[in-house]
Amino acid sequence: MSDSTGLPTAPGPLRLTGYAALQVLLFLPGVLLLVLTLVGGLLTVATIGIPLLLAAMTGVRWIADRHRTLAAATLGHPVPSDRLPTEGMKLFRRLETWARDPMTWRELGWLLVSPILFLFSLLTCLLLVLLVTGAFWWYGTPHIMKLRASLDRAFLSTGHTERLEHRVEVLTESRAASVDHSATELRRIERDLHDGAQARLVALGMTLGMAEELFTTDPDTALRMIAEARDTTGAVLGDIRDVVRGIHPPVLADRGLTGAVEALALDMAVPVQVTTTLAARPPAPVESAAYFAIAECLANIGKHADADHGWVTLTWREGTLVAEIGDDGRGGADPDSGTGIRGVMRRLAAFDGTMRVSSPLRGPTIITLEIPCALSSPRTTPSSETA
237 in contact with another protein (CB under 8 A):
yes
Q: Please, what is the minimum distance in Å from the beta carbon of residue 243 to another protein?
A: 12
Residue closer to another protein by CB (options 163, 304) is 304
CA distance 79 to 57: 20
CA distance 104 to 280: 45
42 in contact with another protein (CB under 8 A):
no
387 in contact with another protein (CB under 8 A):
yes
- Residue whose C-alpha is closest to residue 173's, from 346, 335, 290, 292: 346
383 in contact with another protein (CB under 8 A):
yes
CA distance 338 to 305: 14
Residue closer to another protein by CB (options 154, 223) is 223
Q: Please, what is the minimum distance in Å from the beta carbon of residue 307 to another protein?
A: 12
Q: Which of 165, 213, 254, 334 binds another protein (CB under 8 A)?
A: 254
355 neighbors 365 (Cβ within 8 angstroms): no
- Residue whose C-alpha is closest to residue 95's, from 56, 63, 62, 65: 56
Q: Please, what is the minimum distance in Å from the beta carbon of residue 41 to another protein?
A: 59
* Contact pattern from residue 259 through residue 278 relative to another protein, giving x for each residue in contact according to CB under 8 A and a dash for the rest: x--xx--xxxx---------
Binding-site size for another protein (CB under 8 A) equals 25
Q: Which of residues 194-233 bind another protein (CB under 8 A)?
A: 230, 233
Residue 162 has, within 13 A of its CA and on its CB side, a CA count of 13
Q: Does residue 352 come out as left (phi exceeding 0), alpha (psi in the -120 to 50 range) or beta?
A: left
325 neighbors 291 (Cβ within 8 angstroms): no
Q: Please, what is the minimum distance in Å from the beta carbon of residue 228 to another protein?
A: 12
Q: Which of residues 115-144 bind another protein (CB under 8 A)?
A: none
CA distance 141 to 190: 70
Using CB under 8 A, list all residues that contact another protein. 230, 233-234, 237-238, 241, 244-245, 250-251, 253-255, 259, 262-263, 266-269, 382-383, 385-387
